[in-house]
Amino acid sequence: MLLILIFSGCTGTSQNAKSDVDKNAIPKEPELALLYVGVTPNYPPMIFKSGDDLKGVEADLARRLATAMNKKVQFVELDWNRQINALMDGKIDIVMSGMTITDARKVRINFTDPYLKIGLMTLIRAEDTNKFNSLKRIREGINTVGVVQGTTSEVFVRNTFPKTGTILSLKDGADGAYYLSNRRIDLFIHDAPSVAWLASENEGVLRVFWEPLNEEHLAWAVRKDDQQFLVQVNKTLEGWKKDGTLKEVISRWLPYWKNFD
C-alpha cells in the first residue's frame, strides 16, 4: 500500500506540473505566408546581388510589399526570358525586376500602376564624347551597338537605328560595359538607371549621354487571373506615393533621378 501511495503521488505531481506548463506556455506565432517574387539580379541599381544578398530598388520594395501584405518575401531568381512564363505557371506571384510596360507583354500579363518613369540612354567611351554629342549622331551613325537580349533596348535599336552596322545582343549590362571598354562595340543602349550605374563603376573610361532616346515606365507584373492581388498591390503602391515611401527608396539608389510616376 505504501508503494502504491508513493507512485500515485508522483504521478499526480507530474500531471499537475505538465498542466501548469501548458497554461503558462507562450503560444507560437503563426508562420507567415510567402510572397514569391521573381527577380533577375543582374540589373544594378534596380536589382542585383552583393555576395549572397539581394539589393537594389526592387529588393527594398519587395520586402516592404511583403510586410504590407503580412507575408514573408521569398525571392525566386530566374533568367530574364523565363520571368513571364514562371508567373503564368504560378511559380511566382509577381515579377519585380525592372520590367518595362509594353503592349506585347500586356497580352500575357497584367501590369501594376507604374512606379518609375525612365528612358533608354547611351553609354559611350569617354574619349568619344565629341563623336557622339547628339542623338542624331548616336542613332544615324554606322556603328556597332550593344543591347541586352530580350529587352526593350533590343527592340528599340532594331526598329529605330536606320544605319547601324551591327547589333550585338548581350547577356546583361556588365557585358555591355566590358564590350564597350574593349572596343568590341561603339555604343551600349540600355535603361537609364543601369547606364548611370555602369558609368559610375567605370568612371574615367565610360560616360553617359544623358539625353534619353525614349520614355518608358517601369511596373510589376502579375497574373491576369489575379485581379484581387493586383488591386491590393496598387493600393499599397498608391499609399507609398502619397506618404513618400516610394521616393525615399528610389532616391536611395538613384539620387540623381527626378522622374517619379
Structure confidence by residue, pLDDT tens digits, 102-146: 999 999 999 999 999 999 999 999 999 999 999 999 999 999 999
DSSP 3-state of 142: coil
Which residues is 166 bridged to in the sheet? Answer: 144
Q: What is the predicted pLDDT for the residue at 31?
A: 84
Listed in sequence order, the residues at least 6 apart from 231 whose beta carbon sits closer than 8 Å to its beta carbon are none
C-alpha cell read off for 88: 503564368
Phi/psi-derived region of residue 51, left when phi > 0, alpha when psi is between -120 and 50, beta in every other case: left
Sheet holding 53-55, edge to edge: 42-43, 47-50, 53-55
CA distance 34 to 75: 10
CB distance 145 to 187 below 8 Å: yes
C-alpha cell read off for 65: 510589399
- Provide the mean pLDDT of the chain: 90
CB distance 78 to 39 below 8 Å: yes
Predicted confidence (pLDDT) at residue 18 exceeds the cutoff of 80:
no
Predicted confidence (pLDDT) at residue 19 exceeds the cutoff of 80:
no
Entry pTM: 0.84
Question: How much is the average pLDDT of 225-250?
Answer: 97
Predicted confidence (pLDDT) at residue 210 exceeds the cutoff of 50:
yes
- Domain architecture of the chain: domains with CATH: 33-117+217-253 (3.40.190.10), 120-209 (3.40.190.10)
Place of cell 510596360: 101
